[in-house]
Structure 1
Amino acid sequence: MTAGPVAEPVPEPIPAPAHARRRLRGLWLAAGALALAGAAALSLAFGARAVAWADVAAGLSGRVDTLDAAAVAVRVPRTVLAALAGAALGLSGAVMQGVTRNPLADPGILGVNAGAALAVVIGVAWFGIESVEAYLWTAILGAAAAACFVYAVGSLGRGAATPLRLALAGAATSIAASSLVVAVVLPRNDIAGGVRAWQVGGVGGASWEGILPALPFLLAGFALSLISARSLDQLALGEELAAGLGVRVARARAVAALGAVLLCGAATAVCGPIGFVGLAAPHLCRLLVGVEHRWLLPVSALAGAILLLLADVAGRLAARPAELDVGLVTAFVGAPLFIWIVRRRKVRAL
């Protein structure tokens, strides 16, 4: 007798839990995009003067024949800047937490924002920089110098840089940089007012002239950060195991860190140092989509944009007809979050 035809093996179906997780993450990503559109709409409609939705549509279409429509047209660059800066800070925070394997990593806590601010203040006070391009390059160089300094200090002594060492080194660097800013500005009454207002961190007075020069730096930072997602997942396994998988550890860290520095420096140059967005957004998103960076990074960018937009709206409504700078609002919200993270009994590994 001849054997019957052998049936071809049927590929195993994708396990339901993994498929369900991917579907849930996709839903969170879509929900984040919708929430970002809603936050942008609120930013256009509410402020010192509430605007009807019909006037919002008129202002977006370019018709400024009414006072409310003209107000909307003025708010458009402010809304765009808040979304870009929030996305940059949220994404850079997630990348920094992945590079350092430190759940407390944040551009503000690690002293990167303070380094960028100090560089800009020195540039203004000693070298008379005025153009947006000069602000951008100076802030990025200052952010890079601060990041390198913090990592070097955290690596001193026995063993590699630990999360606690990096947090302490970043806090000390941030305090020192802030003190140096005061020392530089104190004898310069001609620039003191403008520097202090910028140092609080805000998106008021945004214009396309200030946003457009920052776009190349932001786009480069977004690209470098997002393409580092896979290497960040491998680095989370440990340096030795990542190297065994073929990852060039130093190169992977340098590429990811460069992306984070570009994002922090550009956002700080245009908006001033804004804290806690890079800490709050990744932690919230890690609860929603998990620790896989190909999902965590884009969702953190969306969450950062939403957070900064809502903080800007809250600052405008809380002190109407005046307004609170967004840096004050994020500090008010982020400080309790930082204390909660520090006081947790066990911080999950990244």
Structure 2
Amino acid sequence: MPILLKQHNPLRYIGLGISVGVLLLVFAASLAWGAADIPLETVIQALTALDGSTDRLIIRTVRLPRSLIAALVGASLAVAGGIMQGITQNPLASPAILGINAGAAFAVVVATFVLGTHSLTLYAIFAFLGAGVTAILAYWLGSLGRGGLTPLNLTIAGAAIAAFASSLTSGILIVSQRTLEEIRFWLAGSVAGRDLNLFLQILPYLCAGLLLAFALSKSITTLSLGEDIAKSLGQRTAWVKGLAAVAVVLLAGGSVAIAGPIGFVGLVVPHIVRFFVGVDYRWILPYSALFGAILLLSADICARLIVQPQELPVGLMMPLIGAPFFIYLTRNQIKH
């Protein structure tokens, strides 16, 4: 049973403050820990003084962009998952489970194969296009099943689209060794090797998605109670769903464009958040953003440290957390 259910419970504000503090601590750890551990004092000096020492150069040009991207992508994927679960009333909904990540990744692979592009701007355009088409297909196919657009039908449609897009992606990579070499590390889901320019290019898309999501949070709370209830309260549900879909495409498409397809963040985080703050999306979405950033930053730190001096893509760390959680949710749904 959720705790802290009162609408104006001051513990929620305290929880936000604690979450911000934890995020700052994890962010600092992300700047300090890696193949070469750097003292926190040096980290602070690197962010305030512009000299050419090796440690400070590593922090400013490698670890700072990487940490910023991990935090922003984690926040974006968690919020996208929260929106999808609220709009569809489906606890298994997330950008990965409904095939949006796979569709965006397929579009980027096609762009690389056909155009030979390495431009993040073009990656973003194709990722948004792939995410949008996949979302539309998932909703359309889900609505064709018996009973209409039920959570089960939507999950099955998304899983089918994800499998189809993934198989096409694999086919292209088998045919084109060049495309595989250029994009294989990206496909695993990684925030390594990105610079500040890439972060600044994708920042407007993700910020627009987050702002739109927060603006819709009250409407999503109403819609999550049921479409009939929302309509009886005078809500224009079609507009809310459409704008929510735009927010998800911006958040998921932008995240895939810069970090590749990273799964399970959008599935796991909103469920953890609901335990603490209840069912009000005016609280779920801000908490999800903070928890998602903390989770992906922590996973990226582990990915750097677990096989030193080499590192794993962060996309390979998330299933260790997400897969057991997904099995638990699925079993729970079957029982009910």
Bucket of the pairwise TM-score, normalised by the shorter protein: over 0.9
Amino acid at match of 1:110: L
| Residue 233 (structure 1) aligned to one of 221, 234, 257 | 221
- What SS does the corresponding residue of 2:207 show, helix, strand or coil? helix
Deviation per CA, 1:80-127, whole angstroms, max 9, x where unpaired?
A: 000110110011010011111100011111100000000111111113
What is aligned with 2:312? 324
In terms of mean alpha carbon deviation, does 52-61 or 105-114 score higher? 52-61
Check 1:347–1:41 CA distance in 2 against 1; reply closer, same or farther (3 A cut). farther
CA drift at 1:345: 5.9
Q: Is 2:100–2:134's contact at 8 Å kept on the other side of the alignment? A: yes
- 1:1-350 equivalent positions in 2, closer than 5 A: 18=6, 22-73=9-60, 74-344=62-332
Deviation per CA, 1:190-223, whole angstroms, max 9, x where unpaired?
A: 2211221110000001101211111111111011
CA drift at 1:347: 8.6
Q: Is 1:58–1:64's contact at 8 Å kept on the other side of the alignment? A: no
- What SS does the corresponding residue of 1:18 show, helix, strand or coil? coil
Check 1:17–1:254 CA distance in 2 against 1; reply closer, same or farther (3 A cut). closer
In terms of mean alpha carbon deviation, does 158-167 or 274-283 score higher? 158-167
Deviation per CA, 1:295-345, whole angstroms, max 9, x where unpaired?
A: 000100111000000000001010111111100001121111111111126
Check 1:303–1:17 CA distance in 2 against 1; reply closer, same or farther (3 A cut). closer
Q: Is 2:77–2:265's contact at 8 Å kept on the other side of the alignment? A: yes
Structure 2 gap segments, 5+ residues each: none
Q: Is 2:113–2:172's contact at 8 Å kept on the other side of the alignment? A: yes
Deviation per CA, 1:36-56, whole angstroms, max 9, x where unpaired?
A: 101100100101111111111
Structure 1 gap segments, 5+ residues each: 1-15
Tell me, in whole angstroms, the C-alpha distance in 1 between the residues paired with 2:250 and 2:335: 28
- What SS does the corresponding residue of 1:105 show, helix, strand or coil? coil
- What is the root-mean-square deviation in Å for CA atoms of aligned residues? 1.7
- What TM-score comes out, normalization by structure 1 length? 0.91
In terms of mean alpha carbon deviation, does 339-348 or 238-247 score higher? 339-348
Amino acid at match of 1:108: A
Amino acid at match of 2:27: A
Tell me, in whole angstroms, the C-alpha distance in 1 between the residues paired with 2:120 and 2:25: 30
Runs ≥4 in structure 1, deviation > 3 angstroms?
16-19, 62-66, 345-348
Q: Is 1:90–1:281's contact at 8 Å kept on the other side of the alignment? A: yes
- What SS does the corresponding residue of 2:6 show, helix, strand or coil? helix
CA drift at 1:159: 2.5
Query: Which is greater in Rg?
Result: 1
In terms of mean alpha carbon deviation, does 141-150 or 70-79 score higher? 70-79
| Identity across the alignment (%) | 43
Check 1:347–1:285 CA distance in 2 against 1; reply closer, same or farther (3 A cut). farther
- What SS does the corresponding residue of 2:9 show, helix, strand or coil? helix
Amino acid at match of 2:120: V
